[in-house]
Amino acid sequence: MTNEEIINTFPECEKVHKEDIVDVVNRAFDELESYRQIRNLIYAECEKIWPCPEYEGDGKDYHAWCDHFYSKPFYAWFDDFEAEFRRRKGYKRTFKEACDLAADIWANKIFGWHLQDNGAINEDHAGGFWACALGTVLKNDITKDISEDVVNKFRKLMSNYYKEWCLYVDKKDGWTGCVEPYCDYGPNCALYSILIEAGVKENNADMICPWKTGITIDEKDYHVVVRTYKNQEYI
């Protein structure tokens, strides 16, 4: 599809027309790193023209807005737009390279110096700045004593885990399923098991992982997606 075809097939309504999105469609191909960013970009542009109404009374205006922007035609248009974006940009890297990169990012965040942030680091209360400060001190003190052999083994294990599409097997009950490595305030089962297998002590594994962090490999273009509190980075 050409840019013009994408623009001309945009689902119009009385308030937002295809002429309104010409510039943003053209900018998407020049400025965006991943196809996943397209929807937020388009929605932000459309909301400048037709802001989402407050839910008042019977909610008629609010429902009209939602019925348009979250409709099957709109989703279908996004699918075509994103497919064309991927066709032009191609794969970011090979799958193996993506797995190695995801493992490297985890290793750097876990074993390197890292500021713990639960999203409230700028708030002056026990669960805000002071919790983040204490978590940061504890994490970075522990990682000083972890050997390079452990770090390198972790990188290898984590890369292999991604290469198997995050297939997790519970050693206790045999449950098998896809579990992407993630840390809220402590690592999930997948991340924890890899840390232990790499040689991290059990009483340390819960304290050294970056809070509110997950890393995903996008199978459609092999971008590595790093998710932190209310933020996503496409690498």
> From first to last of its 235 residues, what are the pLDDT tens digits of the chain?
999 999 999 999 999 999 999 999 999 999 999 999 999 999 999 999 999 999 988 899 999 999 999 999 999 999 999 999 999 999 999 999 999 999 999 999 999 998 898 887 778 787 788 888 898 999 999 999 899 999 999 999 999 999 999 999 998 888 899 999 999 999 999 999 999 999 999 999 999 999 999 999 999 999 999 999 989 999 9
Q: Copy the structure tokens of residue 61.
A: 């205006």
Cα 184 to Cα 37, 56, 118, 219, distances in angstroms: 24, 36, 8, 24
DSSP string for residues in 140-171: HHHHTTS-HHHHHHHHHHHHHHHHTTTEEE-T
For residue 212, the enclosing domain spans: 95-234
Rounded-to-integer distance, Cα 38 and Cα 49, Å? 17
Domain boundary among 57, 89, 121: 89
DSSP β-bridge partners for residue 216: 225
Residues 117 and 230 in one domain: yes
- How do residues 12-27 score in pLDDT, each as one tens digit? 999 999 999 999 999 9
Residues 6+ apart with CB under 8 A from 65: 50, 52, 53
Domain boundary among 48, 71, 89: 89
The secondary structure element, H or E, covering residue 100 is: helix 95-111
Residues written for the chain: 235
Domain boundary among 35, 67, 89: 89
- Number of domains the chain is built from: 2
Residues 109 and 221 in one domain: yes
What 3-state DSSP class applies to 147?
coil
| Residue 6: alpha-carbon gap to chain centroid | 26
Residues 63 and 168 in one domain: no
Residues 112 and 208 in one domain: yes
